[in-house]
Amino acid sequence: MDDSIQTKIDSDQDVHPSFAEAAAYWTKLGFMSFGGPAGQIAMMQTECVDKRGWISQGAFLRGLNYSMLLPGPEAQQLAAYIGWRMHGIKGAIYAGTAFFLPGTVLMIVLAWIAAAYGGDGAVAAIFAGIKPVVVAIVIGAVYRIGRKTCNGPVPIILAAAAFSALQFTETPFPVVVLAAGVAGIVIAKFLPHALTMGHGEHAAPESHEAHAAKGSLKRFVRVTVIFLIALIGPSALVIALFGAEPFVDVLKLFTTAAFVTFGGAYAVLPFVADAGVNTYGWLSGGDMLNGLALAETTPGPLILVTTYVGFFAGWNNGGLFAGVLAALLTTYVTFLPSFYLIIAGAPYVESIQRFAWARNALSAITAAVVGVILSLAIFLGSAALIHDGEVQWIGIAVAVVSLALLVSGRVGIPMLVALGAAFGLVTAFI
């Protein structure tokens, strides 16, 4: 690692802990990171900035803005960025890995229970009660994100176009993301204020970090080569040892998903769900609902639902061992690009945020994501609320009540899922 360009200086003085002290915190955070990205980012703000002073407020916000510009889970990337500032590459790897590792292990265990026992008695009843709740959670995400981003005619048009492309045509999700980004750049050129949504419009003054980063092309190339080796090497080994099926498809799907996850995990879920259910037939729409519910109620980023899908890919092609291996491979290629983007790009955080085209592209993608999530809600709603062509009115009632509770802010997502599970058990018993 080229420590000469790693910043340890900011406008405010950071109080860097020992690696062991930081590792203890990151491990603890990995087990406590419930509540989605907003809650996870708030936890890091409280501990790393307010209480411990490990990173200044300005550096924290710049790291957050940078993470929001990237594809992938922004809270996990922010943890890796803070780890990088404190302890270099080893700090980034430990912080970023500890953030999702406990959730990964738990998700694999839960995926096994769902795959092996999902049709049995109490487990089936729990999942049946959860499904309409998950539909409400996704609709709530449409409302929450839409309220913040669709604040004018241009964002609404972008959201509608994304929804129409996914719902009524066979346009691939990566194409929708790319088209939205390009549209954002073009629109902002002619209507400069049509897409101002607060994604880093006010960049912080340039610090020592930006000056130190200049001229480090050699480092960037070195990190890129290491990333490619880390991606290709283990992937090729798995295929050589255990065969192409389903691992080639797993690699293709989830590596692509990792690079187009702009706008949060909900944005890429229609792409993953459509491929897992319709293209590859790894799981059913109901199984996908179950996976989303589990990801909402376990620690770690919501994108861990991909681990669940990966497990089903292996389970249905070779049983438990193949399921665990496919889940681990899925997790690896899902998060490896995040580490690359943080480690390769962290020295350039200051200058990157000054690119207006990047901010405009992200704003347009964020608006389009509203339409993408609405498409996901329809996909999951049809799986949960329509059986054999018959509308499940009780399920619709549960979804409506769940949505009302969620929008009111009186009940959090984990509690809502628990109530849905309890409802499923009581209904089955009656």
CA distance 99 to 111: 19
Dihedral pair phi/psi, residue 387, rounded to 5°: -120, 125
352-377 tens-digit pLDDT: 656 777 777 777 887 887 888 788 78
For residue 210, the model assigns a pLDDT of: 41
pLDDT at 218 over 60: yes
- pLDDT tens-digit map of 250-291: 999 999 999 887 767 777 888 898 899 999 999 988 888 888
Average pLDDT, integer, range 381-405? 82
Phi, psi of 390 (to 5 degrees): -105, 130
| CA pair distance 47, 60, nearest whole angstrom | 12
Taking the CA of residue 399 as centre, how many other CA atoms within 13 Å lie in the half-sphere pointing to its CB?
24
pLDDT for residue 300 is more than 80 = yes
Reported residue count of the chain is 430
Cβ contact 320:160 at 8 Å: no
Number of H helices and number of E strands within the chain?
17, 2
Task: Give residues with Cβ within 8 angstroms of 166, minimum separation 6.
Answer: 173, 176, 270, 371, 372, 375
Whole-number pLDDT of residue 139:
85
Burial level of 87, CB count in 10 A (0-12/13-18/19+)?
buried
Token pair 């929804």 is at which residue?
163
| Residue 382, both tokens | 């049809």
pLDDT digits (tens, 9 = 90+) for 147-170: 877 888 888 898 899 889 888 887
Looking up tokens 């930081």, which residue turns up?
22
pTM score over 0.75: yes
Domain ranges across the chain:
107-196+206-429
